[in-house]
Amino acid sequence: MSDVRSVSVISPAGEFVWCGEPDQLSQARSLFPAENTAVDELLQPGSAGNCTVNDVTRTAERLRLVSRRNMPTGTYVVLPRGRLIDESVTAFNLAHLANMSATPVDFPLTFDARHGGIHALTTDYRNQKRVYRLGGSDSDLRLSYAADPNLLTWLEGECLNAARLPHSIYSPQQVFRRFQSGEVSLQRARQYPMPDVHTLSTEGSAAHCYCEVVKQSIQSISFWFGLDYLHIIDTAIDPQYEPGRSLLRRIAQAVPHPTVVRHSARQEKYYAIKGGLYVNAGYTNLMLYNFQLDYANPERFSIRANNGESVALIHSTLAGGWPKIVPIVIGRGLAKIGPQALPIEIAREQVTVVARQSHDVAWATKFGQELTSKFGVRIAIDSRTKKSLRSRIADLRNDWRPAWCVVGERERAGGAVSLVGPGVAREAEADDWLVAASGRIGRCQPAEQLSWRDLPISARSS
């Protein structure tokens, strides 16, 4: 926010434990977990050190997740490995959506700028020249920057059945944002998929619904990053007065560690409260989940409940694959905040079986097939036995492989097969480790088993 006048910290118990000027927030560092790198980045930007957003983009290209080759600035070709990540994160999001009882609704990729309420809704983006417009006879049409314009236009004048609220609408779609060339990066692409969720509720139950959305997002972000995230609220609510103070306390109680509240002098845009869950991506804090409590747009678009109550709209997002998870994971790896590997749940080669000698290749292949049969993991066989083992392991690390096992005479004779790698906290027997991880891996398993082989467009020496 551009107009922050003060900052508060609220404990998980809902107590205001610190309040001061924005530049004094470092005084509250001891209130947060010692190992929280998102807090460190907030208090001292650049504290992660040796990683830039350009490093992240180049690494994503080197790992063949995306490509910018001959593309318009700010747009990306999503390659098979990147597409697999998107499919895996989409599968992960299904439990999140099920817990919200969300209904999928697809909206058009264009909206009509002539519509009455749209003018006020899109003022900010229009003034910043962020919206793409069509030309010729379609010059009143704009490319959607979110599901919001079409969702609200579609619901305009609707009388909602209060007995069926709250109700969540899931709208995954490609969105278009007209970032200037100096702004674009992997995290700020001009076209990318956005998994939007909008929860309609009566005004009386809005606070409860908002807290439930936050709790569900907490569960989801913890899957990927444990407790290493930060919850920030931006609001114009004055913390000195009720009922706003009670609302902020209630929201903070949905989070397992302290919440930072940035108070502005005036309400920006349409939301009464904007919250986000931020993760240190090695070069800055990135918001992986966000949520806004919106009373303005239901009023603007005359959306009411049939019991006479006013309606609130809670905007939120799910985890995104290459636009969100990938920059965070790669940045954390480059900055040595996290492992320099793709998480095993989304990596194409989840386990690599490395054959020591040429006569071990057949057994390695059979063992890999058994792992796939028992645990459903994606297996790669490293049969490059003319290269030294040290060099091959270095290649696996350079390819950000999460886990591998080396098999030879001892393993063929019945010895335990050990699993190692950046994605494995400590060396473990392969079967034991995969049994423990099977729930996590299964949650991110794409429903369709497609081929995610690399395209035959750039020969790679073996």
Q: What is the CATH number of the domain that holds 81?
A: 3.30.930.10
Per-residue pLDDT, 268? 66
Pair 300, 429 in one domain: no
Give the number of domains in the chain: 2
Pair 320, 368 in one domain: no
Pair 388, 328 in one domain: no
Long-range pairs for 239-248 at CB < 8 Å and ≥24 separation?
239/6, 239/8, 239/16, 239/19, 239/263, 245/16, 247/207, 247/273, 248/8, 248/10, 248/273
pTM exceeds 0.85, yes or no: yes
Per-residue pLDDT, 182? 84
CA distance 60 to 69: 13
Q: What is the CATH number of the domain that holds 395?
A: 3.40.50.800
Pair 168, 28 in one domain: yes
Per-residue pLDDT, 448? 85
Per-residue pLDDT, 175? 96
Residue at a domain's end among 334, 363, 389: 334
Range of the domain at 411: 351-443
In the 8-state DSSP scheme, what is residue 157? Answer: T
158 lies in a domain? Answer: yes
CA distance 420 to 13: 40
449 lies in a domain? Answer: no
Pair 184, 289 in one domain: yes
CA distance 401 to 404: 8
Pair 231, 375 in one domain: no
Per-residue pLDDT, 1? 46
Pair 101, 151 in one domain: yes
Which tokens in the block code for residue 65?
A: 């997740």
258 lies in a domain? Answer: yes
Pair 357, 210 in one domain: no
Pair 182, 243 in one domain: yes
458 lies in a domain? Answer: no
Per-residue pLDDT, 460? 45
451 lies in a domain? Answer: no
Per-residue pLDDT, 232? 97
Pair 374, 316 in one domain: no
Residue at a domain's end among 273, 299, 334: 334
343 lies in a domain? Answer: no
Residue at a domain's end among 279, 300, 334: 334
Q: Which residue has the tokens 């998870």?
A: 325
Pair 270, 418 in one domain: no
Per-residue pLDDT, 361? 97
Pair 165, 113 in one domain: yes
Strand intervals (E) in 2-109: 4-10, 16-20, 66-67, 77-78, 103-104
Alpha helices in 128-205 (DSSP H): 148-155
Per-residue pLDDT, 48? 62
Tens digit of pLDDT per residue, the chain (462 long)? 458 889 999 999 999 999 999 999 999 999 999 999 999 999 988 776 678 999 999 999 999 999 999 999 999 999 999 999 999 999 999 999 999 999 999 999 999 998 888 888 888 788 888 899 999 999 999 999 999 999 999 999 999 999 999 999 999 999 999 998 888 999 899 999 999 999 999 999 999 999 999 999 999 999 999 999 999 999 988 877 888 899 999 999 999 999 999 998 776 677 889 999 999 999 999 999 999 999 999 999 999 999 999 999 999 999 999 999 999 999 999 999 999 999 999 999 999 999 999 999 999 999 999 999 999 999 999 999 999 999 999 999 999 999 999 999 999 999 999 999 999 989 999 999 999 999 999 999 998 888 889 999 864 432
